[in-house]
A and B are shown apart, each in its own frame.
Chain A
Amino acid sequence: MLTGLLQQSVISGLTTGCVYAIVGICVVLIFKSARFPDFAQGTWIVLGGMLGASFFARGLPLWLSMILAVLSTALLGAACWIVFLHGPMKRGMSGLHLCMITVGLAMGIAAVLQMTIGTRSMSLPPFAKIEPIHLSKVTISPQAPWLWLTLLLTMFGLVFLFNHTYWGKQIRACHQRHLGAILIGLNPSRIAIFIYAFAAGLAGILGVAMAGMIPVVYHRGTSLILMGFIVYLVGGATSLPGAVIAGLAIGLIESLTAAFISTNYMDIVPLSITIVFLLFRPTGLFGESEPGEK
């Protein structure tokens, strides 16, 4: 009995861990290119999920509504970056102010979603029409493998992008030395637009994949981004592998708490543990230095 519960909660913990890991990856990506944590990432996830669900509800086929949702999330992300953040960033505004702008952005987008799509929670059908998978003692929801696959593909995609493509090398150059990148003829503010669009698109993919398992509501972004920030700090602010490990670990702790302590405390316990961890190791798992200006 106990081992069954343990196995079940490990499986579901890994699944929520995937969600947190991808949110963390999005935040890390933005931090790598722009050097401030972005509050709006949680909202992009919700936007992706809700757009996908409402396209699907209008009668579009599942694959088309998913692609449309991801593309429009990426485009909207790029548009928001150009309108609200491109100028201040070019003028060299401090990270605190940029972070505050994204707070405003997150609140605004959530409110727009509430107004246009509504307050009800929305979901998509699972990607493949299969029954829940029963192993000996464990039941796996049909959407969970897709989430794992999303995380795996994201990881390999990013490794490929950063190590083997010209684009990725440009991004890394901008992250290492802003001025140096300008000197060798790169345009960091233009690259930042692309990264933001990329991160928002990734968040959109996560949103669509998540909506197949957990219904999405317009205000879900806040709790997602809180977890995303925690993952980003625990992982070490600029480290992508760190974000993956931290995300999975926090997901595991959360589901173990829910199984063995109480579902009421399922977000309180992991948050407390990470606070204590960060007090002793503010640079996180793989971080070189503390994020933020000194």
Chain B
Amino acid sequence: MTFAGISRSLLNYRKLIYILLGLVFVLFGLLDAWGLSSKYLLSTMIFIAINAIVALGLGLLGGVAGQISFGTSAFYAIGAYTSGILSTQYNLSPWLTMAFSAFLAGVVAYIIGRQVLHLHGFVLGVITLAFSWILWRLTGQLTITGGYDGISHIPRFAIGSFVFTDDIHYYFLVLGILAILQIIALNLEKSRIGRDFRAMNIYHGGSEVAAMTLGIRLGSTKNLLFVLCAVYAAIGGSLYAHYVSYLSPEPFNIHYNFILYLMVVLGGIRSVWGPMIGASVYWGLKEGITYGMPEGVATAGISAATEIIIFAVLFIGIITFLPQGLVSVPSLLKERHRRKTALRHERALG
């Protein structure tokens, strides 16, 4: 088998490539188990997995179904703070608090969604942005969230007497939850509901009116999506709270929504695999930039600014030149290969 043949057959199995990527995720964890990599790398991997969970929800809502929402950071905050408050003040088990925070975020999303989702396009985007802003400011004001001092000493997950104190164990926990949520999202996207999502994506050939005439219940489908996105974000937030064990309002800034969109767009806005790939590439680049910064030259502010500039350029570049994200690269290459061989055949014939 020639190299071209192998690469072609690999291109035919896009799934395989994705699974390999997933394996890389696991592999990094294993590497650490053998003591080959640093604690720093492992914590980055945990953040990748947590962000992949949050971005996955946004990918379904914003990417597959084309509903602009900047409310994800609010649900992320709800998840994190509910977990934090319940486990520090009421000594509940983190499993319970995670379930409860997901439930609470779902209920809030359902109530808000009922009101908001008859809107579409930019009105929805701006209203959810305002919602995120309000919630972010409230976390800094209220006494129950600890104000700007935040909440500290949030416990880790535990099964019986086994506590996930080691990062490596926590990594596998997060990875397991990510895998479950990813499988749910994949099946959902392949099912009838997923086709409904795509039918109402106004930014990709769909139409809300046309979807309605096909018998899709627009309201309940949108609401389901909104709740799903909120639950994913809350699970991510809960995992975050129990990992870093300290919460302050800063990470729940509305800028987090833009970062999430960056991840989703980077990976591929219409693909369910996109958020995972996007989160990995984003964090990989981020750590790479911080690591590659010459020492002494950069103060913390300058390095953060450089990072943002690089990501802004990348973001604009991806949207402009690769609107379907990194996921679409194999199929683009395949298409190019096909066109090339067709040209060669044509030349050979005449």
Contacts and interface: CB of A to CB of B under 8 A. Distances in A.
Interface stretch (B77-85, B122-130, B152-160): B122-130
Contacts of A267: 133, 137
Interface string A204-227: 000000000000000000110010
Interface in A185-220: none
Contacts, number: 135
A257 to B, nearest CB: 12
A290 B309 contact: no
A119 interface: yes
- Summarize B's interface: helix, strand, loop or mixed: helix
Interface in A111-157: 111-112, 114-115, 119
B122 A101 contact: no
A114 to B, nearest CB: 4
A57 B55 CA distance: 44
Interface string B228-243: 0000000000000000
Contacts of A229: 126, 129
Contacts of B323: 93, 97
B38 interface: no
Given A100-B319, A233-B126, A294 B207 contact: yes
Given A88-B320, A107-B308, A115-B305, A272 B129 contact: no
B305 A290 contact: no
A217 B68 CA distance: 28
A37 B315 CA distance: 18
Contacts of B91: none
Interface residues of A, number: 47
B203 interface: yes
Contacts of A293: 121, 202-203
Given A111-B312, A114-B301, A292-B122, A100 B265 contact: yes
B219 to A, nearest CB: 14
A180 to B, nearest CB: 23
Interface of A: 36-37, 84, 87-88, 93-97, 99-101, 103-105, 107-108, 110-112, 114-115, 119, 222-223, 226, 229-230, 232-233, 264-265, 267-268, 271-272, 274-275, 278-279, 282, 290-294
Contact of B319 (A101, A274, A291, A294): A101
A99 B134 CA distance: 22
B122 A282 contact: no
B311 interface: yes
B261 A103 contact: yes
Nearest to A279: B115
A95 B119 contact: no
Interface in B254-281: 254-255, 258, 261-262, 265
B68 A294 contact: no
Given A97-B323, A101-B315, A104-B311, 9 more contacts: A88-B320, A93-B323, A95-B121, A112-B305, A264-B141, A267-B137, A290-B119, A291-B121, A291-B123
B162 to A, nearest CB: 42
Contacts of A97: 203, 319, 323
